[in-house]
Amino acid sequence: MHKLKIVVFPGVQNLPNLAAAAQGFFAGRDIAVETTFTTGSEHMRDGLARGDYDIAHGAVDNAVAMVEVGHDDVVIFMGLDQSFNKLVVRQGLSTYEDLRGKILGVDAPDTAFALIIYDILGRKGLRSGDYKILPIGATRFRLEALIERKIDFAMLNLPFNVFAQQAGLVILDDPIRLIGPYQSVGGFTRRDWAARNHDVLVRYIAAYIEGLRWVLDPRNRQAAAALMQDKMQLDASVAEKCLDEILDPDSGFAVDAGLNHDGMATLLALRASFTNSAVMPVSRYVDEAPYHAAIDLLKQ
């Protein structure tokens, strides 16, 4: 049994991994997975770079930042979703103009959903300096900060934006629908590790896809809801709301976790705008050879 150490953010994006473990898909491919929940993007990036983890699942803009900022040789090998993040604000705020002078809570100020919200705020007339930015860490910490009124607005993923509404907070907008195709969560690893462990990575991806296929099969909806309730400590109503979004054919999990190249192009354009640099080609950060090998394995 080959042991893999993965690092992830808490949230619905872990459902394929949970299903692959619960349904025996990992074990069936001679893989045992040890999962660590990250406290934030910097913890994830630093841990992967040091070799504390073999594989990361998170916003793939973190992989881009590792290449461009950290000069780490990492590679994105699969996708999953275009983001279930919503712009959540505290009570009393109802327009973008209300956010002027307020505090934006972010995971890290230089990656992923922070860049999205900067772009959207700019489109709505709010420039850098019109609001304050406070790095908080992972989504669960941003939700706590909103409830405790330490920040005024933030991007929150599932299931945390549902928890936010239950706590009386307000969803102001769905920024992802404003920016167009976007590659949010995906899998990435160090290139040297991928080269040394090609067969293991292929088997891992194959088992992950089996877990995803199980999740997306309508016949398994009740079992998937039960799995979320058990492993993510969700009540039945929250699990059902999350599944409604996960299973949406247009905006839910991508079939077989394929990478959205148009979404990658949007991501890279946002980063180029943020860093005032040239837009880099998708191929600089992506190697789908292990993914395609996993698809071939699944056909056998």
Q: What is the pLDDT of residues 136-166, one digit of tens each?
A: 998 999 999 999 999 999 999 999 999 999 9
CA 110 – CA 171 distance, rounded (Å): 23
The answer to whether residues 160 and 173 belong to one domain is yes
Average pLDDT in the chain: 95
Q: Please count the structural domains in the chain.
A: 2
What is the pTM for the complete model shown?
Answer: 0.94
Which of 136, 162, 179 is a domain's end point? 179
The answer to whether residues 191 and 243 belong to one domain is yes
The answer to whether residues 251 and 142 belong to one domain is no
pLDDT band for position 178 (50/70/90)? Answer: confident
The answer to whether residues 76 and 94 belong to one domain is no
CATH label of the domain that carries residue 279: 3.40.190.10
- The residue behind tokens 């993510």 is 232
Q: What is the pLDDT of residue 176?
A: 83
The answer to whether residues 140 and 288 belong to one domain is no
The answer to whether residues 74 and 199 belong to one domain is yes
Which of 147, 179, 211 is a domain's end point? 179
Q: What is the pLDDT of residue 228?
A: 96
The answer to whether residues 148 and 225 belong to one domain is no
CA 249 – CA 247 distance, rounded (Å): 6
pLDDT band for position 111 (50/70/90)? Answer: confident
The answer to whether residues 187 and 294 belong to one domain is yes
pLDDT band for position 184 (50/70/90)? Answer: very high
The answer to whether residues 106 and 135 belong to one domain is yes
Which of 179, 199, 227 is a domain's end point? 179
Q: What is the pLDDT of residues 55-88, one digit of tens each?
A: 999 999 999 999 999 999 999 999 999 999 999 9
Phi, psi of 260 (to 5 degrees): -90, 105
Which residue segment(s) compose the domain that 14 sits in?
A: 2-82+182-299
Residue 110 has pLDDT above 90, yes or no: no
Helix pair angle (261-275, 61-68), 10° resolution: 50
The answer to whether residues 77 and 191 belong to one domain is yes
The answer to whether residues 277 and 240 belong to one domain is yes
